[in-house]
Structure 1
């Protein structure tokens, strides 16, 4: 999935460079206006990769109220707000930098050098540290968010992709997209403390290296349960899901899901983990109480994410390949709706509002964000958001959100 998207992005960037596109300010109520009058939780931040900016949408009016310039060739991959809502953090993949943006002034406060191609990251709950995966040189940058500097650059990873910091800030779980393992970083010691093997794919590689070593589909993300007691890690090659006990850092069970699972998504009520399997176009539903698959749902092509509304009563599975969002009732595990967003649209990532009522979904090919009402499943388009909108983030999102 990641390799294909890279070529799509490069192709679109070439088109943009060849045929300049007019600015987006005509759609804005305020191109650089202050955000001080807004509740931070009502704002939606959209990282636009090819226009090198972040669009800010007021979820009360669905209007673009500001834009934050990231600089030429920043190619922002992921954005996240600090827990106090005062700073916006962006991985500038194209410039090998990590940006700390002051939302009071809408300016880049600090620019921190990282390893090559920083993409995904997570931060500690006290807003002190960020752990950033530099996917091209397989390192992790530890960044002091208060002083705006890199404290350490940790080695020993293989395409570090997804991050999850424990609620108590004691350790960080790091997935390796280029290996079948999850790394555990000790925060007090600032070092890679453990490597946890996931599934049997590493054993199969010995017998069939052409398949398992030519292009490894490892672990996209380690997903914590809502109580933080376990982490779920899906192995893309083996079609297996590992459950890690976060108290002992041991894999307590591993079981089969579908083919080419992407990653696990936790329901806000803490009851379920949903795993989209792109190899057989299914969605595995796992009980977090028993660590077992309770049912398998029919999904779509190239699923890029899953969001929830109403505290987990409904699940929205994003199928980029079908340009469709599949809506499921999580009480009866039945398909409620197919929301056809468009034709040949690359649907990327989404975030659920803090009240759990609406979903904001990025669509990179038509420079739009689509808003889905969780009560009615009505869809509204916000056009001209930026070139190649990729990641959506909302402070206090009711459904865990992530870039890909």
Structure 2
């Protein structure tokens, strides 16, 4: 298995870096971006296209999830190792939770507020329950090797987990905390994105340079989409999929109906995290190597702005509010 420092396209301390559709405003007022090299989380004012606040978060912050009310951010710290809890309105860290292994991917149950953290070095998810303004560890869920991206269905009943070293996706029953199905996908799935309305999920397969399309009802892969080199995360907007390609510094665009590539959009070096606004008008891409966030117009498929941020932006997860 590759180390946390080697997991992305670049060697640096910490780990390499799911874009999960959530209850966002029609657009999005802020982006909450982990800047791993700067050991911080930056809050971007998206209207002003600039950094509005920087919150120190030691431990090479990487993954991010937001609480159901969008007021709290949960950030994985692989070099902690552990988790940081941030009050986004107060712009400060309110607590930390130590965790063993390599905390990486993270997701929050939209119904219960339970937080799930993937252990990159293991075959497990950590389960953390909200209590008295903090998170309390409450057991583990066994999954495949090197879990990365996590998604939770809108009803909070089912988890999907991309297992990078196993080349599979785990389907997990949230109530029983048991893996119920294992779906083979491409080589080294990393980011996992859910389209609950369409009954599909998408994994970005880093080593096979493609996206696996999963039918949730039958729990099987039903197609593949070719991408650029080293795809990492998928976002959905306007009937299209958008995939960050780290080695080609691009975003591959494909049609969700035909599963055919549409175009490739040039962005910054080593793009990783990507998320779409709820209305599907814009996408935001964290460029790990360029220290920028690219803004993509989903209609014209062009980059409209580049927002300068701190060193090593990752934003692996749910980061728009």
The bucket for the TM-score relative to the shorter chain is 0.7 to 0.9
Residues 202-213 of structure 1: pairs in structure 2 closer than 5 A: none
| Bigger share in strand | 2
User: Does residue 163 of structure 1 match 2:106?
Assistant: yes
- For residues 285 and 232 of structure 2, the distance between their equivalents in structure 1, rounded to whole angstroms, comes to 11
- The change in CA–CA distance for 1:340 and 1:220 in structure 2 (over 3 A counts) is same
Change (3 A) 1:93 1:40: farther
Distance of 1:173 and 1:383 partners within structure 2:
30
For the Cα contact (< 8 Å) 1:316–1:326, is it kept in 2?
yes
For 2:212, the equivalent position in structure 1 comes to 284
Q: Does 1:98 align with 2:84?
A: yes
Answer whether contact 1:265 1:273 (CA < 8 A) is retained.
Answer: yes
Partner of 1:203: none
**For the Cα contact (< 8 Å) 2:50–2:308, is it kept in 1?**
no
> What SS does the aligned partner of 1:296 have?
strand
Q: CA deviation at 1:377?
A: 0.5
Specify every segment of 5 or more residues in structure 1 that has no aligned partner in the other structure, as ranges: 12-37, 116-133, 139-157, 199-216, 396-404
Matches of 2:246 and 2:231, distance apart in 1: 6
1:169 alignment partner, SS class: coil
Note the residue ranges of structure 2 that are not aligned, 5 or more in a row.
Answer: 15-24
Cα 1:187–1:368 change in 2 (3 A) is closer
Q: Give the counterpart of 1:46 among 30, 33, 36.
A: 33
In structure 2, how many angstroms separate the alpha carbons of the residues matched to 1:223 and 1:246? 11
Matched residue, 1:8: 11
CA–CA separation in structure 2 for the residues paired with 1:374 and 1:47: 23
Give, in angstroms, the shift of residue 284 of structure 1.
Answer: 0.9
CA distance in 1, matches of 2:150, 2:288: 25
Say which structure, 1 or 2, has more relative contact order (CA 8 Å, 6+ apart): 2
Q: Secondary structure at the match of 2:5?
A: helix
Contact 1:225/1:288 (CA < 8 Å) preserved in 2? no
Asked if residue 307 in structure 1 is aligned to residue 235 in structure 2, the reply is yes
The answer to whether the 8 A contact 1:323-1:340 is kept is yes
Identify the residue that residue 18 of structure 2 maps to in structure 1: none
Give SS of 1:264's match.
strand
* Shift of residue 101, structure 1, vs aligned partner: 4.0
Residue by residue, what CA displacement relative to the aligned partner does 1:291-316 show, whole Å, maximum 9, x if unpaired?
12111111232222111113xx1110
Structure holding more helix per residue: 1
- Count residues with an aligned counterpart: 302
Is 1:60 aligned to 2:6, yes or no?
no
Match for residue 316 of structure 1 among 242, 246, 249: 242
Q: Please state how far the C-alpha of 1:94 moved relative to its aligned partner.
A: 6.3
